[in-house]
Amino acid sequence: MLLGYSEEQLKERKGYATAKEINQQPKVWRELFNILLNQKREIAEFLNPILQLKDLKIILTGAGTSAFVGYSSEGYLRKMLGQDVEAIDTTDIVASPENFFFKDKPTLLISHGRSGDSPESVATIELAEKIIKDVYFLNITCNKNGKMAKSTIDKKNSLNIFMPEESNDEGFAMTSSFTCMLLTDLMLPHIEEIESKKDLFEKLAKEAERIIEEEASIVEEISKIDYDRLIYLGSGNLKGCAAEAALKSLELSRGEVNTNFNTPLGFRHGPKSVINDKTLLGFFVSNNPYTQKYDLDLIKEIANEPGQRKLMAFLPEDLQIDGIDYIFKLRQDFTNVEEAFLTPLYIIYAQMLAFYKSLNLGITPDNPNPEGRVNRVVKGVIIYEYV
């Protein structure tokens, strides 16, 4: 059984790949740890000289979910490396490269890609080589045969880190590919002492297994609520989690659920107008005591307002909050774990909700757009020569 369904049922409803890929995440995280352990010397020898460069700029990039990997790791990497780190979508770079690439500014481009075949991913690397005098490429991808990896292989200024093969998701929506690439990002500051992170990987994997085993049925019940607006909110590193969570439901519902994301503080500045009686709101609550105050303030505010909207809260610990319709609490102690590491766990709830809602709407999760309006790997993009 996968997420409460037999393999036969899932294949009949064209949801087997997506269910399998959500369910396999604890397994592939353990595989990822061993990959990073085995490649640690190569990664460290590549990164260490680059990180010593004066005035270095680190750009985290990708498109869609691959961009949201950078959104989710940007703050943590900036803090841990003490470097100028910025997440910028390849779709922004390709359209206006002169806004982001500067000839005399040493740059490390960390590219993320499930397939590595998105035209913008390859074009971003080519533009960086053309514009920046001192540029380096770290490709984090799930596809050894992708164009992104092949375009830089054997180049001294480049390194590829390949995710577990199973993380090259066959389903339309990225799930295990997202969490593997994110965990790789989060390990970069610790690569020389990666052995010390084995317990953290195991803790995350065990908590993920519990979430899938114990709480999938509750998430499925929530998916049956008559909502057509879904808003996810997260502060700090969890804003990236909110972005990815919103995209999952938008993709798998084929847009029938209108989704958005924001920070709790930002939501008050206009976007809060979206709330009506068919709105479901999900709050990813930080374990940072300071940041958490802002998360809880907005939850309490909306919980005390009139209306039939429904509220979900995803909590790192046992917090007493009134007025919430659905509360999910991590069972292990994540109090002293950096906030960014909550995303791989919190996102599983959002992945499952998107999957179940898709089934409830009669949509096929593995390919919600069979008519080809939107594709697993984007098509139809013309890359123009930059002069």
7-197: CATH topology is Rossmann fold (3.40.50)
Collapse the DSSP code of 230 into the 3-class scheme (helix H, G, I; strand E, B; otherwise coil) and give the result: strand
Residue labelled with tokens 């992945």: 351
Q: How confident is the model at residue 372 (pLDDT cuts 50, 70, 90)?
A: low
Of 281 and 370, the one with more pLDDT = 281
Measured CA to CA, the distance from residue 76 to residue 341 in angstroms comes to 9
200-361: CATH topology is Rossmann fold (3.40.50)
Q: How far is CA 78 from CA 59, 72, 92, 291, 365, in A?
A: 11, 11, 21, 17, 35
pLDDT in tens, 296-351: 999 999 999 999 999 999 999 989 899 999 999 999 999 999 999 999 999 999 99
Sequence-distant (≥ 6) Cβ neighbours of residue 34 within 8 angstroms: none
Q: HSE (CB half, 13 Å, CA atoms) of 91?
A: 10
pLDDT in tens, 218-243: 999 999 999 999 999 999 999 999 99
Question: Is a pLDDT exceeding 90 seen at residue 118?
Answer: no
pLDDT value of position 33: 98
Q: How confident is the model at residue 383 (pLDDT cuts 50, 70, 90)?
A: confident
Contact 346, 182 (CB under 8 A): no
Provide the sign of the torsion angle of the four alpha carbons 166, 172, 176, 182, taken in this order.
positive
Sequence-distant (≥ 6) Cβ neighbours of residue 189 within 8 angstroms: 77, 80, 81
Question: Is a pLDDT exceeding 70 seen at residue 8?
Answer: yes
pLDDT value of position 140: 98
pLDDT value of position 301: 97
The per-residue pLDDT of the chain, averaged, comes to 96
Average pLDDT, integer, range 280-299: 98
Q: Could you tell me the pTM of the whole model?
A: 0.97
pLDDT value of position 70: 98
Bridge partners, 149 (sequence order): none
Q: How confident is the model at residue 18 (pLDDT cuts 50, 70, 90)?
A: very high
Give me the residue spans of the domains in the chain. 7-197, 200-361
Measured CA to CA, the distance from residue 77 to residue 75 in angstroms comes to 6
pLDDT value of position 157: 96
Joined together, the tokens standing for residue 315 give 């909590």
| 256 phi/psi in degrees, rounded to 5 | -70, -25
**Segment among 12-16, 151-155, 314-318, 376-380 with least mean pLDDT:** 376-380
pLDDT value of position 375: 66
- How large a percentage of the chain has pLDDT more than 70? 98
pLDDT value of position 117: 86
DSSP 8-state secondary structure symbol assigned to residue 197: G
Question: Is a pLDDT exceeding 90 seen at residue 112?
Answer: yes
pLDDT value of position 371: 75
Alpha helices in the chain (DSSP H): 7-12, 16-23, 25-51, 65-81, 90-95, 119-131, 147-152, 176-187, 198-223, 238-252, 264-267, 289-303, 343-360
Question: Is a pLDDT exceeding 90 seen at residue 185?
Answer: yes
Asked, colleague to colleague, whether 7-197 and 200-361 share their fold, the answer is: yes
Average pLDDT, integer, range 18-34: 98
pLDDT in tens, 199-219: 999 999 999 999 999 999 999
Q: How confident is the model at residue 369 (pLDDT cuts 50, 70, 90)?
A: confident
- DSSP states along 177-196: HHHHHHHHHHHGGGGGGGGG
Average pLDDT, integer, range 76-93: 98
pLDDT value of position 134: 98
